Structure 1
Amino acid sequence: MIPGVGAFTGAVDPNQVAAGADLLKALLSARLRSHGDVQIVLSPLTILTPAFLQDLAEVAQRRPWVVLFFDTYQRTGPLLDVWLRDVLVSDRYGELPANVLVVLAGQSRLESRCWGTTWIWSPACHWKCSLRPRRASSSPQRASQPSGASR
């Protein structure tokens, strides 16, 4: 029994449900002609993420750096956290090229249940930070602060 559905089972005609299921099956069968099409529908991450990483690797071979920006992460994070963590720190879907940099920008910290507590988060760097590498004896360089921004 599915929680919350019990109240509706008496109000729904089982013949209509069966007819609707048959119609859905027929529509999907007409659209999904190969086993690969079915796998994309049933498990899109398993099929599409390795293809994405393979294409990303091809681009990364032709460029010194590839940077992926995820802005407003406070909104997209709940949907992307587990997938992005798997892409970044595991080989579940394939290997992420070493010259790919991922930048997450949002209004809150990363979800510690997903990411742990060791990821860098800096409220002091809420304006543009320079991508120049740090020298061992100097502090991080910052680009000029946008007018009207405060620290």
Structure 2
Amino acid sequence: MEQRIWTPIKEMDGSNTLVWGEKPEVLPEQAFISLTRGEGLNLIQLFINQVLTLLVMIQMKKAPGLLYAELNGELKKWKGNGQTMTVWDGKLMPKFRNHNTHGFAMKFFTWIIHRKNTKNYYLTYSANETIPTVPEVREILRKYGKFYDGGVLARKAGPPKYEKDKKSS
């Protein structure tokens, strides 16, 4: 079995991304993508986010069905943004999401990250044979993601529709 590691990448926009594994060229038909993004986090929120993210990264290495992951972050004018993308084979993400470190982190994030100063986005959808880039993830989340503005639900998620999806509906 191949040993996957976290690799740092400096993005063109000045942000930094940690990548786990190599981006698959071909995805299984049942693959899906899970995206999250927090914007406007203050330094205390960023510190807590970083600690919990490091713990979740350890759990991610052992998660069955995880094909690929990207964690992106940026700090500008004392405010930070954090974005994650995980690509899964099948429906194995709920077991990962709801248990162990990630389960704890989700509960804690709700309390510490959903504040008046933040905007938060969440979305899980069928991969449709493509994995978005870091800027594409940001745009997909802003357009389709479940959106919390200042800790208040402002919009429910509405996953993107692709040509294949439209024809079969």
TM-score (norm 1): 0.28
Structure showing the higher strand proportion among its residues: 2
